[in-house]
Amino acid sequence: MNNAELLATRPYDGPPPWWRRHADVLIAAAVFVATVGLTVISFPPYGLPEAAYVFAAPAAFWAYRRPPFRRFAAVVLSAQAVAWTVILGWLHHVTWLGLLLLGPFIGAWVGLWFLAVRAVLPQLLGRPVLTRITLVFGLAALWVLNEWLRTWVLSGFPWLPLSASQWQRLSVLQISAYTGAWGVSFVLIAMNLGFAAYAHRLLLEGRRGLQRRSQEFLAAMFLLVVCLSIHVQETFNRGLYAVGLGKIAFVQPYIPQDVKWDPARGPGILEILEKQTLRAASLRPDLILWPEASTPWALRGDDSVRGWTEDLVSRAKAPLLLGSVGVENLGQSDERWINGAFLVDPQSGLRPDTYAKRHLVPFGEYVPLRPILGWLEKVVPIGGDFTPGSDPAPIVFLMKDVPVTMAPLICFEDIFPGLARSSVRAGADALVVLTNNAWFGEGGAAYQHAAHSVLRAVETRRPVLRAGNGGWSGWIDEFGATRAVVTDPERGIYFRGARAVEVTRDFRWIGQQSFYVRYGEWFVMACALLVLFAWLMLRFAPPPETPAAAAESL
């Protein structure tokens, strides 16, 4: 059979296969599924932080192919909305409506960055190497600005920045001491875009691409190597510099949220606190920690509760740092309520120095825009609106006859880097997070919350002690290493009990401030300038080269 006869027998005029006819839909579906899955598993409680290096790569790779903008936007926005609704799924224990509003909102907020990716990446083809790298880094800087703005939107909800995915990977976290956790997010996004550029080079830019490296990928790898070099420099032999801080006892009363504010259950709650505190005292700690709002009535403002607590601490023979409600009578039936941290000393009783929570939870501890939304009630069914504190108010006391300054952070305050930074600038030797994660069941919320404490420890180079109502309790050292977690062999972190651990600190950082603590959000400002520079470069640079010339430049 000659060539003409062979060609005549081939069904070139037949319909294309099903997958080719629906290729656009299949690609969009694959990007949606990959984006949702990789985004979710990047964060705790899932143990796959490496997914954070590629979670955005499928969408970025697709963006190079210039899909219709509306289709691309629909896929990435819906994927992020679904992913963040899953990530925040624990919120349904408080409010289903809040979950179904907040999850898609945060997803849409994050998804806006992907729209910039669609606008920029197709324009990289054919441009000089320096231009491509600058624009990729500009997109990484834009991600940082997107995360930073979440510290302000809706009164502030910077829950789970991308850097939090690496809370158990010390090697990449150490740059946070210089840039804040934003630097880790920058590197991760640069790696995502680098992988996408490399995949596009290998798969869709012809045989020459198989023989040439992706400069965008190499630039991102350089940033990762910088992180690794800082890790080696900062953490090598850190055990040689450890000095004792003291033995800390963590009390987890694990009071279910549905009974915590029931006055009839108050005596039972006090009984649980007494039993677990005396158990902790038998371990002879230098300090005992209770979680947020641990007493059923106000410690400051209710003389009976104060007397009961002071008597218990006297018997325990160890100071107690606890979270509780404080009430101040301002006269004429006017009261000031705070969600605070208090120190009770075995000799002097309740100390006057008090920390008042500075960043309150909207609709949890106060109703925003009360003249308009006053018909709504707070989730916490006590008192009126809480009054926020105005300063870090660190608490100083003697531990093993040495003055130690503890700076409390209550509830979700440790997700705000600025609060931890101001506490350290006020002289904190250690940060103490007192929280009540019983609001959120036994899902991933406690692990997600603990991930932020790791970031704050590295940023400030201060140990972080965490006391939760039912978990996660323990301590994290100055380099983000989880040194102890209070667990039960059968229940894990979700149990009622008391444990004590020896806490150390690195003497190289005693009285010293990290670069981030000293200079604050300089990296965010640098990212803003980089975004502006990248936009100007894209706006005024010469148009890309022709496809033939671009191929030669590869």
* 185 touches 147 (CB < 8 A): yes
The conformation of residue 390, written as its DSSP 8-state character, comes to: -
DSSP per-residue codes, 294-347: -SSS-TBT-HHHHHHHHHHHHHHTS-EEEEEEEEEEEETTEEEEEEEEEEEETT
pLDDT in tens, 148-178: 999 988 788 999 999 999 999 999 999 999 9
Separation of alpha carbons 199 and 216, rounded Å: 11
23-42 vs 57-64: helix crossing angle, rounded to 10: 150
Separation of alpha carbons 462 and 480, rounded Å: 9
The domain 240-518 is classified under which CATH number: 3.30.70.870, 3.60.110.10, 1.20.120.430, 3.40.50.300?
A: 3.60.110.10
Separation of alpha carbons 547 and 126, rounded Å: 7
Q: State mean pLDDT over 2-27.
A: 62
Strands 320-331 and 287-289, by their bridges, are parallel
The confidence score (pLDDT) of residue 344 equals: 97
Residue 496's φ and ψ, nearest 5 degrees, are: -105, 125
The conformational region for residue 496 under phi > 0 = left, psi -120 to 50 = alpha, else beta, is: beta
Q: State mean pLDDT over 368-386.
A: 57
The confidence score (pLDDT) of residue 97 equals: 86
Confidence of residue 554 (pLDDT cuts 50, 70, 90): very low
* 142 touches 116 (CB < 8 A): yes
CA 259 to the chain's CA centroid:
29
The residue to which tokens 């406690």 are assigned:
446
The set of residues, in sequence order, having a beta carbon less than 8 Å from that of 99 and lying 6+ positions away, is 85, 88, 89, 91, 92
Q: Which residues pair with 337 in a beta bridge?
A: 327, 386
> What percentage of residues in the chain have a pLDDT greater than 90?
69
Structure tokens, 114: 């992907």
pLDDT in tens, 342-359: 999 999 999 998 999 999
pTM of the model: 0.91
Taking alpha carbons only, the member of 233, 234, 156, 143 closest to residue 183 is: 143
Q: Which residue has the higher pLDDT, 551 or 409?
A: 409
pLDDT in tens, 467-484: 999 889 999 999 999 999
pLDDT(551) > 50 = no
Mean of all residue pLDDT scores within the chain? 88
Q: What's the distance, Cα to Cα, between the start and end of the chain in Å?
A: 43
Structure tokens, 476: 């994290």
The confidence score (pLDDT) of residue 330 equals: 63
Confidence of residue 550 (pLDDT cuts 50, 70, 90): very low
Range with the largest mean pLDDT of 122-136, 146-160, 195-209, 410-424: 410-424
Q: State mean pLDDT over 404-433.
A: 96
Structure tokens, 205: 């830019």
